[in-house]
């Protein structure tokens, strides 16, 4: 009898150990790996390599739920500012299957390749995508920025 109890006790111990390990694994598992993997760099070369585009909030910080303006800076690969570009903005939240809550527009050219993109609003936390279609003397190209809130 005594040896049977020993087996039962050992079994219980192993089960507890397994449960504990599962708890540790579950609690330390990374959340939303697809968000962590998104490229959220603020500066990149456009799809066909025509421009180097940088995208930054004009006031430095992103405020959720408020209309705000960002600056899109366009340079040639050689580093010269791109002037007179026509810019169309679109985007949305791919994970929620919806577009932008506003229609942002390029409203001003501030010189030195900098364009003010006004009317942006990020209504919820998560991964946002902003697509820019850029047309300038050098040709037309596109770039996509990911913004993570």
Instruction: Tell the smallest beta-carbon distance from residue 44 to other proteins (Å).
Output: 25
Identify the burial level of 68 via C-beta atoms within 10 angstroms of its C-beta, where 0-12 means exposed, 13-18 middle and 19 or more buried.
buried
Q: Rank residues 56 and 118 by Cβ distance to other proteins and give the closer one.
A: 118
DSSP helix/strand/coil, 18: helix
Separation between Cα atoms, residue 78 and residue 123, nearest integer Å: 37
Six-digit token pair at 52?
Answer: 């180097």
Q: How far is the CB of 47 from other proteins (least distance, A)?
A: 23
Q: Which residues bind other proteins (CB under 8 A)?
A: 16-17, 19-21, 23-24, 27, 31, 64-65, 67, 96-105, 118-119, 121, 123-126
Of 22 and 80, CB closest to other proteins: 22
CB 113 to other proteins: min, Å: 23
From the CB of residue 136, how many other CB atoms can be counted at a distance below 10 Å?
18
């Amino acid at each position: 009898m005594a040896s049977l109890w020993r087996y039962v006790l050992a079994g219980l111990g192993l089960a507890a150990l397994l449960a504990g390990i599962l708890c540790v694994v579950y609690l330390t598992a990374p959340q939303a790996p697809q968000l962590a993997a998104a490229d959220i760099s603020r500066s990149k070369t456009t799809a066909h390599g025509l421009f180097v585009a940088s995208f930054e909030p004009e006031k430095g910080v992103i405020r959720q739920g408020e209309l705000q303006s960002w600056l899109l800076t366009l340079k040639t690969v050689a580093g010269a500012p791109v002037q007179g570009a026509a810019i169309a903005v679109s985007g949305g939240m791919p994970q929620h299957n919806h577009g932008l809550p506003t229609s942002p527009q390029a409203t001003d050219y501030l010189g030195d390749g900098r364009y003010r993109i006004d009317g942006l609003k990020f209504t919820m936390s998560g991964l946002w995508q902003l697509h820019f279609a850029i047309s300038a003397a050098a040709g037309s190209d596109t770039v996509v920025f990911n913004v993570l809130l």
